Structure 1
Amino acid sequence: MDTEAQHTERDRPSTPEERSRSARVTGDDTARLAEDDTARVAEDDSAEGPARGRLSWRSAGLVGIACTVFVLLLSHFVLQPFLIPSGSMEPTLQIGDRVLVNKLAYRFGDQPRRGDVLVFDGADSFVREPAEENPVAELLHGAGAALGLAEPDETHFVKRVVGVGGDRVVCCDKEGRIRVNGTQVEERYVFFGDAPSKVPFDIVVPDGTLWVMGDHRSRSSDSRDHLGSPGGGMVPVDKVIGRVDWIGWPFARRTALAGTDAFARVPEPGSVPAGAGGHG
């Protein structure tokens, strides 16, 4: 006799009512189990939600810090925004312009040339070394200036190179124009109505230094104003921060800074005959 088969048969509901009752019990158990599973999933989601939010904010913060560090490093070594604070370089550069200073322009053996527009540190040549400030305020201001959001340091200037080492620069000849190494310079970038200079001078630029002037001559404090200073108004080449290559803002003025051919005919210093380059 097959007892296993009998037990199996005995366990099954014998009547339709019993089978219906069994189905209801099984269905209720399944529904209850499904509800329990849903509740557990909801609890897990509610527990993970804040952690996910915290992770998201933390990630965003780390990305922001990384981007800021990258921009500051780029500004320090490669390309620095610079806010133009005055009208000394009008019409070439206007108040409020944000220019991009190419810090690699003179890093690989190239030297500043006549006509270049430069940003340089005028400490000990144009101004005295400023007094020390609060370190935190100085750091914040430096970061703002590096991003072009704040005015540059008081020792930083933007001017145009008129004479390089060895040049004789004279102002003014009988036609009221500057001569460099005996050659008259047609300075079409000078602010309309300004004289090349109302201050007469006749200087020879020492090697390793630059003679610089603003394009708005009547509003520019430049090499002419420091003729009696220890450096004689000259800017050491190693104080040059970089060359202004682009205007980045305002949007309507975005452009590469145009070069000038004003000095194209100027000979090199060694080719100038003795006594040439005077007032004429």
Structure 2
Amino acid sequence: MDTLLNAVALKDRLDGAGDTGQRTVLLDVRWALGDPHGHDHYLREHIPGAVFVDLATELARPAEPRRGRHPLPPLEQFQESARRWGINDGDAVVAYDDSGNMAAARLWWMLRNAGFRQVHLLDGGLAAWRAAGFEVAEGPEQPLPGNVTLSEGHMPAIDAEQAATWGRQGLLLDARAAERYRGEIEPVDPRAGHIPGAVSAPTTGNLETDGRFLGPAELRARFERLGYRADVPTAVYCGSGVTAAHEIAALEVAGFSAALYPGSFSEWCQGAANDVVTGPEPYGGDAASH
């Protein structure tokens, strides 16, 4: 199953070109850190037929210190949401946003983790759709309820205990902006810095300037420079488990695999016993912060 689908291929799919009888469900995951108005953006402009997905309430449960800012919702809740979006067993899903798939990748990972493999990211998101000259719609969409049955545990994941030693046995990638990794700024979490042993790998490095993913060869080269090797286990975290999913999608485009730390730094930094280091090196140049 290809991770990415381009705008022309999506338009052909929606128009029924080469129809194989598989229905396509289009999901708009408009969300960005610091911008709570995703639904308003969706109502003003979205790909025709796309159903809005609220990341904060449908792809996460309320924040709690021991689980981070965007804890994964219970399976039953996620399945209820997926049915409300109109997903049936046997459908294909295409997810997108307007921020390089930084938010849509969360839905991609969650569906894959729930055993739903027929899910793509629209490469370049809404911007690519507009650039191709295709029409957009406004207002809400009202899908018929679906019947999809989901399960869990189909994608690799780690917890805080594993993250604590991951950098010594494998490769731990920090998908946040480099200045947050170094501890120079921290806009949302109570401590600044990174998990000891982590390597800085901002998700922005996965994309072209137009928001499309780099090609497989370029992504392979990027992750190999960061230390990826087939015989070394790789895991990824970010601030709250959202953009880390984007890094896992990029790794998959490259032909690689990695585990997600769902709680990510927002969970890690709340643990009083968890060290946080600063500076550009995996084990820091400053004293650990407690």
User: Same fold judged by TM-score > 0.5?
Assistant: no
With normalisation by structure 1, the TM-score equals 0.20
With normalisation by structure 2, the TM-score equals 0.20
Higher Cα Rg, which structure: 1
Which has more strand, going by share of residues? 1
